[in-house]
Chain A
């Protein structure tokens, strides 16, 4: 056979649908993505609530026993409790919102996107939360007359945490985009094949 004939065979595929979409597989894939996003969000929230609550208790305890923390350490403890409470309220709101989505393919996908959007917002807030915590910690330590090296260490650690927070935020954004791309494909391509 000559190459022109191969070309004719090649062109023939433009008029036929070479593939169909396995809707069950698609639904399972969406469920798996949703569960993954849900799991990450759930764990992050719980960790933030527990860690901030106990760190707040610890800061308050140390401040009460040593009587040398000053106003900044009290503010730091209050900020920790506030963050923990804020995340707890947001978690409850998020969980109640989940009930709005039906268990259809598009409902599960919309739910997954909603959780991913929440996670992106949550990671952004937690990243910015490093700034007031670092500031209050530095002011508290400074008030206690600690050495410049300890303060430098706190600044370096906070900067590192802020950087790592940005990296983590990028991962969540990519996951969200992936889900949105899947939704666009679902709305358009998969309905037509």
Chain B
């Protein structure tokens, strides 16, 4: 694949699937600095992955696989290395568009963020209509395991939503 072709695909994917990247970034990184960092890491991995894409799966499935794997690895790495930089020392690339965010959506992201790395991935994929089989393929865990985890996650989120009257849920 030529570099020009790779660049074209990268631009197209970045534009068409930006919501996907932001969802993963939002679910895995909490501070603005971490969001910048993870966003950068994911886009780098997507760029490198383009020559390996064989169209055997849908683009969204492929991008979710890359993004989630990167996010999971990034989370583990971040847990090991605490940054010395304080948050107010850096200017952030991504600025949250506060006026457009539904309060209930913020709550949902907070709850997803509280889950462990794998459950976060499962929840994102489930909310984006991926089947059990697809989730199993992307995350490399068995379909029955996915089913068990989904039942538990759904129950947990529903229970928590009932306790959270403040958000109107």
**A18→B100 contact, CB < 8 A:** yes
**B157→A3 contact, CB < 8 A:** yes
Residues of A within 8 Å of B158, CB to CB, are 1-3
Interface set, chain B 40-83, CB cutoff 8 A to A: 43-44, 47
Does A9 reach chain B (CB closer than 8 Å)?
Answer: yes
Does A121 reach chain B (CB closer than 8 Å)?
Answer: no
**B44→A178 contact, CB < 8 A:** yes
Does A100 reach chain B (CB closer than 8 Å)?
Answer: no
Closest to B153 in A: A3
Interface set, chain A 1-51, CB cutoff 8 A to B: 1-3, 6-7, 9-10, 12-14, 16-22, 24-26, 28-29
Which range holds the interface residue count of chain A? 20 to 34
Closest to B20 in A: A14
Residues of A within 8 Å of B101, CB to CB, are 16, 18
CB-CB under 8 A for A188 and B105, given A2-B158, A7-B127, A13-B23: no
Q: Measured between C-beta atoms, what is the minimum distance from B94 to chain A in Å?
A: 5
Residues of B within 8 Å of A3, CB to CB, are 154, 157-158
A–B pairs, 25, beta carbons within 8 Å: A2-B158, A6-B127, A9-B104, A10-B127, A12-B105, A13-B102, A17-B100, A18-B22, A18-B26, A18-B96, A18-B101, A22-B92, A25-B91, A26-B93, A28-B91, A29-B91, A177-B44, A181-B10, A181-B43, A181-B47, A185-B43, A187-B11, A188-B15, A189-B15, A192-B15
Contact string against B for A residues 150-193, beta-carbon threshold 8 Å, 1 for contact and 0 otherwise = 00000000000000000000000000011001001101110011
**B43→A22 contact, CB < 8 A:** no
Closest to A11 in B: B127
Closest to B104 in A: A9
**A19→B22 contact, CB < 8 A:** yes
Residues of chain A touching chain B, judged by Cβ–Cβ distance below 8 Å, are 1-3, 6-7, 9-10, 12-14, 16-22, 24-26, 28-29, 177-178, 181, 184-185, 187-189, 192-193
Q: Measured between C-beta atoms, what is the minimum distance from A15 to chain B in Å?
A: 9
Residues of chain B touching chain A, judged by Cβ–Cβ distance below 8 Å, are 7, 10-11, 14-15, 18-19, 22-23, 26, 43-44, 47, 91-97, 100-102, 104-105, 108, 127-128, 154, 157-158, 161-162, 169
Residues of A within 8 Å of B128, CB to CB, are 10
**B97→A17 contact, CB < 8 A:** yes
**A181→B44 contact, CB < 8 A:** yes
The 6 closest A-B pairs by CB, nearest first: A25-B91, A188-B11, A1-B161, A16-B100, A10-B127, A1-B169
